[in-house]
Every structure is written in structure tokens, then in C-alpha cells.
Structure 1
Amino acid sequence: MKIDKVINISNLIDIFVILRRPPSPSIAFRASAGESVGNRAGGKMRRAVPKILTFLISALCISLISMPASAASYTLGIFGNANMDGTIDEEDIEYLKGIITGENEPTELADANYDGKIDEDDISQTELIIRGEADELTLLQYIGYPEELTEEPVTIPMPIERIAAIGGTYGPETLCAFGEEDRIVGVLQSAKERRELEPFLKDKPAVGTSTFTWDLEKILEQDPDIVLAYAFRYFPEYDDQLQASGIPLVQMDFYQPEKYSQEIRNLGWILGDQERAEELIEFEQQHLDLIKERTGELEKRPKVYAEWYADYQAVGPDNANNDAITIGGGVNIFQDATTKYPEIDSETVIVRNPQVIIKCSNSLDLFGCGVKDAGPLEELKGEMVNRPGWENIDAISNDRVYIISTYSHSIHPSVYYSYFAKCIHPELFEDIDPDEIYREWLQKFLGVEFAGLYAYPPPSSW
């Protein structure tokens, strides 16, 4: 039977446009059903979707949109996922047919070719996506931090062969974990300095010096298909120029546990390796679940002072390090701070009397692959223990002072959280050695040996 009914969803999108506000003037909204992919050739069209507005929109439009019964707790953020579950398969084609015949309600991701209407062309596009033969893919990006995310589509050419990976060390490391280092055509200088990644990145061009300082001329020289960057903020200073050159900026965060599964699965579809994506996700979930299982119902939670890189720069609320304390079964003594990394005074630490002290470090001299001398770490611990007035702090009296490398976090937060959990509750994790968890990750996903220091004292002694 020929399907000739077309569902135009522009009116629904118009409702979204009225209630949404872009974070910057450079954000454009897709409001016309007639807009074609060709109109987007110079770059991506964006839609900002704050969580709170998404909730309000859902309440207002519940009579217009209903989630299909097959919807899962996780939704793959790829256009073509018509039934809003965790993959794209034949069920999405059947759901699309139901939308077109009026049997199923339209969903946001049903517009597989992202042209503003749902018709037979979306069925064709979904079939191409399933076979891995689509010449373009539209995916949702999750911009910002988990407490205030916006969803924003970006359309990319397929297949992707050349990637400028400038999301710090995390973007390149994730691509290497997929075994796709050959697709990397440019990285930041900071990524080249990570000794764990040296075998993969030593010959890659440096196209920037930091997360916020890119060399656009060098990026364009590499002729990338996409630029892969962090998603915790917008980069309008670079995005507009990339759009003008026809290069999509794809933003993903691989270090935030709340976004990890979504980002890794989306990347798996981009790279055509969903199996590897599931392996990475399973590793994280396995080790995070173990920690939560042992600490989730604890009534007795030690007070923890976590110090960031600078002296007396505390870990405050609303960041991954605070989450590591909470999930690890502790209470952050600066949870009440008004900033994520507040500057505090020594007296406040003394008064709050933490039972555990954790010093975080990103020093490549103290930690990382190839580092064997623990002498400098012992000196650093000694400096903290001997701070004036600290001798009566419980953590000092009971020798509960630890130093942890933040490089152990990277794109495997479960490793970092395991270090924190063992620091805070060694009695609950006697059978767990975070070094061994990290060793397993490095061997399984990068094929490199664990050869260095990532925590002090050694976790086996905790």
C-alpha cells in the first residue's frame, strides 16, 4: 500500500519556538517545514531547550504529543529514532509508518532527515541509517551542565573520516578508546602532553593551546569533517567561523557521568561502532553501581575536605568532585559554598574538622604514566599535614590525608570515584583497588599498560 499522507510538524515546532529563548543571538530556530538541508549547508541550525521549559512545554502540549509505549528510560538522541527508545531499528520504520497513517503520535526524533515534516523520505533516511549508508546524520547535543541542559540538534556529513578533536584530552582519549585514532587530524597541545596518549597523538598537529584557545587557521588547514569540542558551554567565537567554512561543531562531554551514556552512544553511531560504545558504558555502570550499592543507604558519612589545585581552594557544590564525595559516602564540608571552587581560609577548615582530606592534583610531574618517584607526593602531603593549627584536625590525627590525580577521572569517572570511595570508606572497599580498575580500563580500551602513580599513598595501603 502506498503511503501518501504527509505530517507537517511545523506548527508543533512553532509552539516550541514561542516558549524557547536562545542563549545567544547566533542561535537560530528551525520553524519552517519547508526548510531544506541545503539551507543548512553552511552550518547547523540550533534549538535551545532548557530543561524547565521542556517540562512546561510537555505539560502544555500533552494533547498534541504522547510518548510511544515503546519509549525506554534512555532515548538515543539521533533523528530517526522515531519511537524514542535506545536504538534505531526496524521498529522505528514501523512507528514512522504509523505516524504517517495517523495511528501513532509524532515525536521529535521521527523527522529523520530533519526537514520539518514527516513523510516517506524519513522512512528512506531511517533505512539508510540502519544500514550505515546515510550521507548525513542529525543528533542532539546536550549543552551545559546536568542541572541546566539545553538540547540542540546538529547535522553532520557521513561518513566522518577527519576529526579535529579539541575537547581537551577527553575528546581525543574517547576516540582512541573507540580505536579511531586514525580519524584524528588535530588536537590541543595539552592532549599531546598526556603521556598515556602519547602513542596515539604524538604525530598529530596541535591546533590550539587550551580548551578556550583554538587556532582556527590550523584547524581549517586540516580540512576536518567535524570539530569535536566540549559541551559544557557554547563557543560562539569559533562556531560562526566554522559554520562559514561548512564545518559542523559537534559538542559532547565524556567526563560527566549524567551525560556519559548519551554522549558515548551518539558517538558510537557517528563512528559506526555501537558495540564499542556499549562496552564503555557497561564498564562505567558496573563500577559506579558497585559504589552506590555500598554507600547509598549509609547513615554514618565522614566529613570530607577536598582541596582543588591551589592551596585553600576548596571543592564546593555542583561539580563532579562534589559528586565523587557524595557517591563515595562522604559529606563535603563546603557543600554550602556559593561557588563551585571557593577560596577558603585555614581556620574554617579547622572549625569544620574533616575526618578525611583529599588533595586533587593535575600535575604531570607528580602523577601519570611513567611517574615512579613518590618522594614529591610525600613532601606535598607533609606540607598539608604541617599547616599551622591543623594538627588537631581528625583527618590529620588519624592519617587520613590522600592525594589523587584528576587525570584518573578523564572519560572514566568510575575510576576517579573509586579512588574517592576507597579514601572515604576503606572498610567498605577492602576488596577494591582503584589502581586495578584503572589498569583494567587502560588495557581494555587503549591497549596500554598501567605504569605510573595516580594516588598517594598507594590505594593498596588504605
Structure 2
Amino acid sequence: MTTPHRFGIGLRALALTLALLGWALPAAAELRITDVTEREVRLPEAAQAVILGDARHIMVLGMLLDDPVARVVGWRQDKGLDPARRAAFAARFPALEEIAPVGAGNRELSVEATIAQAPDLVILSLTDARNPTMEVQLLQLEAAGIPVVFVDFFSHPIENTTRSLEILGQALGAEDRAADLIAFYTERLDTVRGRLAEAQPDAPRVFVQVHAAPGTCCATVGGGVFHDFIEAAGGHNLGQDAVPGIMGNVGLENVIAADPDVFLATGGAHMRERGGLVLGAGVAQDEARAGLEALLSGAGIADLRAVELGQAHAFWHLFNDSPMHIALIEYLAQTFHPELFADLDPQATVAEMQARFSPIDVDGTWWLAAE
């Protein structure tokens, strides 16, 4: 079976042959895309052979394309899919296992491996655009004539998610699907924002421990990522007052002194081997519950007022790089302001997003409240 990439090469060869014979195919309109860094990127047509800078962004492509794997010729394996979703993707799209690696951890990108896949587009994150160690690779890709577009679902997700979906929809020829997803996302975000603006409730003071494990307090977020979700849901992120960048560490004594109204913790399958909090796709609630109880019974954490009053919650860390985070915002809004958002059903939002937009449907434990 001919792949879309090879089919694209065949069309270009046919156009050259016809031109030599004095004929011509109708000229396709050039795509002009402005990415999240305000760069203009030009493509002769919708991209058919894509390199993903973050492997997990295949989930976003899956929300826009019937067969996202057919478009992906290579990916950097840093920030890959969790085991449950990768298995579900491979079962649905066996060609997933044939995607070429073009880099691994520490944001490494092999330009040689990338060029070898003859991509017509490389999709990178805003993190890469701000990474000085990427400057040489970006210049090399430019010299090779390979377009690069930057998107962002991580650093500033509230600001850039809909814009990034528009960018990908345009670049992949999936504008209609992108518009549907944007409408779904925006309607729910506007509901939360609108009620908060009208009611103007007091914002609870919130501390979030990321990659949480007993005895390793406390990695947290300053600005961006989960900070954006907390603020959008009507809370105040205490990490912003202590961490100058996106992520950093805060001592347990500082958390105790801050005395948060709500304590949050993130976890995922990646924390299983570290003895930490495990939540997310393919995770049973019993395992998640045991991890949360172990975390909250630790020295210092157990004495927090938020924990004593039952205002402690855990949620899946990998909400951090996907439009699926709209369901987490609903959950947090309901947690911070239960009377204002009693009618929200974040679990139903996850189910609807998987049914309408995702090529896979995976059960799991997405969040959990302390008992």
C-alpha cells in the first residue's frame, strides 16, 4: 500500500514530467502559517511526512486525523506516550512501531536522522524555540530546506492551545476537525471563566507537588503548565510566589509555612518504579488510592491543614501537554468552588473527548480526592 508520503513524492514527479512535456498541473495554494513564536512558515501543501519533536503529540494529531501514524515518519522519543496509550495506539495503528527515532532524552534532536526521513515538516514545542542548545539544529534544518513549526500545549497552555490547534489544522489540512475541537474546548473554558468572572469568589491558596512521591517534597510549578490550570479554575498557585521559572523545588518547611488551603499532587505510570503516585491511563483506582494515602501520610505532609481538612487531591501528570487538560480545569474548578460548579462533569468531558476526537479510548484514573 502506498503511504501518503510516497504518494506526495509521486505527485511531484508527475508534475515535473508534465512540465517537461509542456503541460502543468493546477498550482496548489501555498500555505502560510504563523506559529506560536510569530514566525511565518510556508508549505507548498498540507504536510504528509512529519517529524514530531515530542512523541506524545501524536495524541493531538490523532484528534485531527483519522490515521495520524501515516503522517509521522519520525519522532523524538523524549516526552513519549505512557505505556497504556502507546499499547492502544499500536493495536489500532501497527505502523506506530515503524516510526523512526530521531532523538531521545534531554531534548536531543538528531538532524542527520531527521533529514534521512525526508520530512516536509518538523513540529517542535515552544520549549525548543527557547532552548539555546537547539540553535545549531534549527539552523541546520533551515539550511536543508525543512520547514519547522512551533506549537505549545505545555509552557502556556491556556494562551496557546487553541492557537496551536489552528496551526496544526492548517499545516495538516485538517482545519474542520481543528475547528470542532477548538469549539468544544472553548465552550467549556468559557463556562468556567464566565462563572468565575460573575461570582468573583475568593481564590483558595493552592500548592501542587508534581511527580509526587513520599519523602521527596517538593517539586512544583511557578508559571505555566499546572499554574495555568489552577489559575483558570479560580485558585492561586503558591508556587508562583516561590519558583521563578516554570518548574522548581520548594522545601517541605516552606510548604508547611505557606499553609495552603488545597494540596494537589500529580502522578503517572512513570512514577511506579520510583515508588510514587501512580494515576492516569490504564491505572486502577485501588493503585492510585494506595499511592495517594502513602503520600499524604508522610512526615510534614500529613500535618498540613489542607490534608487534615480533606482538601487534598491527586491528578494525572500527563494532562500537562494535551487539550485534554480542559477536563482537569473542570475538576479543579469543581474542587475549588464546589457550589459554583456542582453541575460540571469532568469525567464525562474526558469520555466525550475520547469518543469524538481521539482514535483510542483508554480507561484510567484521572484524578482522586483524599478520603
Shared fold (TM-score greater than 0.5)? yes
The structure-2 alpha-carbon separation of the partners of 1:231 and 1:384, relative to structure 1 and needing over 3 Å to count, comes to same
Task: Tell me the SS of whatever aligns to 1:214.
Answer: coil
Hey, which bits of structure 1, 4+ residues long, moved more than 6 A? none
CA distance in 1, matches of 2:172, 2:210: 35
| Structure 1 residue matching 2:101: 3-state secondary structure | coil
Corresponding position: 1:140 with 2:30: no
Unaligned runs of 5+ in 1: 1-130, 144-150
Cα RMSD for the two superposed structures: 2.6
Query: 1:245-256 counterparts in 2 under 5 A?
Result: 245-255=144-154, 256=157
Q: Which SS does the other structure have where 2:48 is aligned? A: coil
Q: 1:353 to 1:193 in 2, by over 3 A?
A: closer
Aligned-pair CA distance for 1:328 = 1.2
- Residue 333 (structure 1) aligns with: 238
Q: Answer whether contact 2:283 2:365 (CA < 8 A) is retained.
A: yes
Identity of aligned residues (%): 24
Residues 168 and 211 in structure 1, CA contact (< 8 A), matched pair in contact too: no
1:314 deviation in Å?
4.6
Residue 250 of structure 2 is aligned to residue 347 of structure 1: no
Q: TM-score, normalised by structure 2?
A: 0.77
Q: What secondary structure is seen at the aligned counterpart in 1 of 2:241?
A: coil
Matched residue, 2:290:
379
1:186 equivalent in structure 2: 74
**In the TM superposition, what is the alpha-carbon distance from 1:316 to its structure 2 partner?**
4.2
TM-score by length of 1: 0.63
1:282 to 183, 187, 191: 183
Could you give the per-residue CA deviations for residues 127-159 of structure 1, whole angstroms, max 9, x where no partner exists?
xxxx9922x32322222xxxxxxx222223324
Q: 1:345 to 1:369 in 2, by over 3 A?
A: closer
Residue of structure 1 in register with 2:200 after alignment: 298
- Could you tell me which residue of structure 2 aligns to residue 417 of structure 1? 329
Q: Provide closer, same or farther for how the CA distance between residues 336 and 155 of structure 1 changes in structure 2, counting only shifts above 3 A.
A: same
Deviation at residue 193 of structure 1 after TM alignment: 4.4
The separation in 2 between residues aligned to 1:428 and 1:392, in whole angstroms, is: 29
From 84, 88, 110, the equivalent of 1:195 is 84
Which of 399, 403, 422 is matched with 2:310 structurally?
399
Aligned to 2:15: none
In the alignment, does 2:269 pair up with 1:370? Answer: no
| Residue 268 (1) aligns with residue 173 (2) | no
- The equivalences for 1:148-187 within 5 A come to 151-170=38-57, 172-179=58-65, 180-181=67-68, 182-187=70-75
Larger Rg: 1
Partner deviation per Cα, 1:269-293 (whole Å, 9 max, x = no partner):
2222221111111111011112112
Other-structure match for 1:242: 141
For 1:304 and 1:387, the matched residues in 2 are separated by: 19
CA distance in 1, matches of 2:200, 2:137: 46
Q: How many residue pairs align between the two structures?
A: 320
The one-letter code of the counterpart of 1:396 is V
User: C-alpha distance in 2, partners of 1:168/1:292?
Assistant: 31
Distance 1:443 1:266 in 2: 23
User: Is the contact made by 2:158 and 2:229 (CA closer than 8 Å) also made in structure 1?
Assistant: no
- The 1:385–1:372 alpha-carbon spacing in structure 2 relative to 1, beyond 3 Å, is closer
Alignment partner of 1:218 is 2:121: no
The aligned residue for residue 10 of structure 2 is: none
1:434 aligns to 2:320 (yes or no): no
Q: Is the 8 A contact 1:409 1:416 kept in 2?
A: no
Give the match for residue 360 of structure 1. 266
Alpha carbons of structure 1 residues 350 and 192: separation in structure 2 relative to 1, 3 Å: closer
Change (3 A) 1:316 1:263: closer
Between 1 and 2, higher relative CO (CA 8 Å, sep ≥ 6) is seen in: 2
Match of 2:210 among 291, 295, 308: 308
**1:148-185 superposed Cα distances (whole Å, 9 cap, x missing partner):** xxx22222332421111123412x22221111512111
* 1:43-192 aligned within 5 A: 133-134=28-29, 136-143=30-37, 151-170=38-57, 172-179=58-65, 180-181=67-68, 182-189=70-77, 190-192=79-81
1:381 CA drift (Å): 2.0
Shift of 1:395: 1.1
How far apart, in 1, do the equivalents of 2:102 and 2:235 lie?
Answer: 40
- Structure 2 residue runs of 5 or longer lacking an equivalent are 1-25, 273-277
